[in-house]
């Protein structure tokens, strides 16, 4: 079923008195695309580490609560074994490159080799993923000599080639241009159509609006708001939680203040343009 349930989880890193996570409860259902947003330092990356099992197995500190994966408490599971089912793309791609492989191809193949996948299948899967991410031309390059954006794609490739059921992705487009960001989101959408569960941290709010099913707002270590993407991103109170409204929603509120209200609050540019055309007869 690939369901992750967080039950009243709190966590403070070692040597810190501040709670990185504070009484977090939420259930991530199979096949859904979740966007995680919030101000810097609010706990988004800690939430990702929790879901992947790195908290409290790898990152030590004061921990309470339960994280259940298909009904089994993660505290009773092997954190390394979890990596087969739960893929985690780190915020900083420089920390995800192993440093032990001399080519991009070998880097992306590393996880499959560790699982004992037959060589022929490894080649097929790596070639397919490199083409998917448009980095096939980098296959023989040294991964440590790539640009930040290229490393970000390689880090992403090394995770999706493993074909995990759940993908936890922390700021995958931070070093990409708009075209590259769109490509990554289209790939993530394809993965979601294969019934993968996607949990994505992203600061580009308009991308969240266009692709996600549900949105969580994280502030001071807590999930302070959650719901469908439309419900959350159309809320006029969003800026008070440290998150900008999508441009479409902001425009709709400004039009309403000017006495020209739209039928509802759009959250994507396409939806906003459609409402304006229909309402004003363009």
Distance between CA atoms of residues 216 and 251, nearest Å: 23
Residue 182 banded pLDDT, cuts 50, 70, 90: confident
Helix (H) or strand (E) holding 7: strand 4-13
Q: What is the mean pLDDT of residues 87-91?
A: 91
229 and 266 co-located in one domain: no
Q: What is the mean pLDDT of residues 234-247?
A: 96
110 and 201 co-located in one domain: yes
Tokens of 237: 């109170």
State the pLDDT at residue 191: 87
pLDDT for residue 29 is more than 90: yes
Whole-model pTM? 0.91
264 and 200 co-located in one domain: no
Q: Which residues sit opposite 198 in a β-bridge? A: 33, 167
Tell me which range, 24-33, 87-96, 174-183, is most confidently predicted by mean pLDDT.
24-33
If one compares 2 and 205, the residue with the highest pLDDT of the two is 205
pLDDT tens column, 112-135: 999 999 999 999 999 999 999 999
Q: What is the mean pLDDT of residues 11-20?
A: 94
261 and 127 co-located in one domain: no
Q: 158: domain range?
A: 4-245
Total structural domains in the chain? 2
């Amino acid at each position: 079923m690939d369901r992750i349930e967080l039950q009243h989880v709190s966590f403070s890193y070692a040597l810190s008195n501040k709670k990185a996570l504070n009484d977090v409860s939420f259930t991530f259902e199979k096949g859904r695309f979740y966007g995680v947003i919030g101000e810097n330092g609010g706990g988004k990356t800690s939430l990702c580490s929790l879901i992947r099992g790195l908290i409290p197995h790898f990152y030590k500190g004061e921990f309470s609560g339960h994280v259940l994966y298909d009904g089994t408490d993660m505290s009773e599971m092997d954190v390394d074994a979890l990596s087969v089912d739960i893929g985690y793309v780190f915020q900083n791609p420089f920390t995800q490159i192993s440093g032990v492989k001399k080519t991009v191809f070998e880097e992306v193949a590393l996880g499959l080799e560790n699982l004992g996948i037959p060589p022929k299948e490894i080649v097929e899967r790596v070639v397919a993923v490199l083409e998917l991410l448009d980095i096939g031309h980098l296959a023989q390059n040294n991964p440590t000599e790539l640009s930040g954006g290229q490393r970000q794609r390689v880090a992403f490739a090394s995770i999706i080639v493993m074909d995990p059921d759940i993908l936890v992705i922390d700021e995958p487009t931070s070093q990409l241009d708009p075209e590259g960001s769109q490509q990554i989101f289209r790939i993530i959408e394809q993965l979601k159509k294969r019934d993968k569960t996607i949990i994505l941290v992203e600061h580009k709010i308009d991308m969240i609006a266009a692709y996600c099913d549900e949105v969580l707002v994280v502030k001071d270590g807590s999930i302070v708001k959650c719901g469908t993407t439309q419900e959350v991103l159309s809320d006029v109170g969003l800026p008070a939680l440290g998150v900008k409204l999508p441009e479409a929603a902001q425009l709709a509120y400004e039009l309403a203040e000017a006495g020209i209200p739209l039928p509802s609050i759009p959250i994507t540019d396409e939806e906003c343009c459609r409402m304006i055309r229909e309402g004003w007869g363009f």
